[in-house]
Amino acid sequence: MRIPMHETLNEEEALLLKTARSVSKSFGRSYWLEKWEKKEPPDELWEEMRRQGLTGVGVPEKYGGSGFGLMGAVLTQEALALEGLPVLQFLVTHFSRHIVLSSGTEEQIRRFVTPTCTDGKRMSFALTEPEAGSNTWRISTLAKKENDGYVITGQKVFISGAKESDLMLLVARTKRYEEVGDKRYGISLFVLETSDPNIKMERLDIDMRGPEWQYAVYFDSVRVPAENLIGREGEGYKALFEGLNVERLLIASIAVGLGDFALSRAVDYAKSRKVFDVPIGSHQGLQFPMAKAAAHLEAARSVIYNAARLHDQSGRGLELANMAKLLGSEAGLEALDVAMQTFGGYAFELGTDLINLYPILRLFKTAPVTNELVMSYIGTHVLGLPKSY
Ligand SMILES: Cc1cc2nc3c(=O)[nH]c(=O)nc-3n(C[C@H](O)[C@H](O)[C@H](O)COP(=O)(O)OP(=O)(O)OC[C@H]3O[C@@H](n4cnc5c(N)ncnc54)[C@H](O)[C@@H]3O)c2cc1C
């Protein structure tokens, strides 16, 4: 299936997309499902990505990366999803290190970011807490200053790939919510080694039909040196929210890539399956929703690319990133729905491997931020409407 938006890529971007796609193609959807069944992380894929320089995409060459900026990360993420590989590990590692790149010192970048490019180290991201939910300001994991470092106590939930990662970007409070006048103040960012014995993890019973898992993470007086604090104490919110926008673009890239993966399978099937003596794809009752889904995927992709380019040029693009997340998550799910309709009853057979895509594509309406919160952002920041909360 052709993707017209790919014609807007320059030569270097097109080459990157091709390289990333040839890696994802060489593993393919069967690898992803096999790893899920065996409950093993996709280490071989990650190693091949490292060998091809893909783990370093989005990080400047001077830090051991492969360059390309956010647009490169978007294309890498999309190329993986286009072959049915929604690799959360790349997304989480990339936007977490993006926060270190934007607010960390040179030394911190070399300690924490460079190994994610050259040595295949992975980084997870720990923000969500059971009590706070979408209200980030209400997190209560506390980092208490002690001597020349911090002691961290608290709990996080839903942390993707926590156990499989080497490093974790932790969002904690250095001042409790009740102690600050301005709710934004007191949010601090730390990089932790996940091997710390005072960090305990529990795998959650969540099934995304892929070899990546979520964890509840418990911090019991975890000692962290001051050198692991990213940015200024208590003022981490700006870097955090900028990083979350990078995350929104990468999520949207997975959603459109996976949506195209589902739709292209439906297109192939609709050309060969004959009912009433003609290919079902010639019936406009199926053809039109497929065409509409393709157009919606391209519209979302167009906003993603524009947001990534704007970010690379000027550091801006926040509003577009939110719109891209909303559009991408809806377009991906719509494409899957149309693909399932095309396959008729066979869509419900596990072997057809369409229904397996539902949990992950549906997730994107809820995580990493719910579409309600995204619409609230657009409503208040773009349209200037009053806030409801
Ligand atoms: C598979 C998976 C992977 C995840 N990975 C990570 C990870 O790696 N790191 C991490 O930190 N977190 C992660 N998360 C957590 C995810 O970001 C949260 O689940 C998400 O932000 C929603 O928070 P919540 O579940 O607490 O929902 P809640 O905040 O309790 O929201 C429940 C519902 O209420 C609605 N709602 C709440 N407030 C408003 C409002 N003001 N206006 C309108 N509607 C509102 C929400 O939109 C939602 O529909 C993951 C979650 C899942 C399921």
Is residue 152 within 8 Å of residue 218, measured between CB atoms? no
- Strand residue runs (E) in the chain: 123-126, 142-146, 149-160, 167-173, 187-193, 199-203, 214-225, 229-230, 274-275, 278-279
How confident is the model over 243-269, as pLDDT tens digits?
Answer: 999 999 999 999 999 999 999 999 999
Ligand 1 pocket test: pick from 87, 134, 248 the residue with the most ligand atoms within 8 Å of its Cβ.
134
Question: What DSSP letter does each residue of 219-259 carry, written as one string?
Answer: EEEEEEEGGGEESSTTBTHHHHHHHHHHHHHHHHHHHHHHH
- 368 preceded by a cis bond (ω within 30 of 0): yes
Residue 223's pLDDT is 98
Neighbour tally for 197: CB within 10 Å: 7
How confident is the model over 279-301, as pLDDT tens digits?
Answer: 999 999 999 999 999 999 999 99
User: What letter does residue 5 receive in the DSSP assignment?
Assistant: G
Please, what is the average pLDDT of the chain? 97
pTM of the model: 0.98
- Name the residue among 310, 333, 316, 328 with its Cα closest to residue 369: 328
Q: Which residues form the pocket of ligand 1, taking CB atoms under 6 Å from any ligand atom? A: 92, 125-128, 133-134, 158-160, 206, 208, 214, 363, 366-370, 372-373, 376, 389
User: What letter does residue 57 receive in the DSSP assignment?
Assistant: B
Quick one: pLDDT band at residue 1, thresholds 50, 70, 90?
A: confident
Centre of ligand 1 from the C-alpha of residue 57, in Å: 28
Q: What is the mean pLDDT of residues 334-348?
A: 98
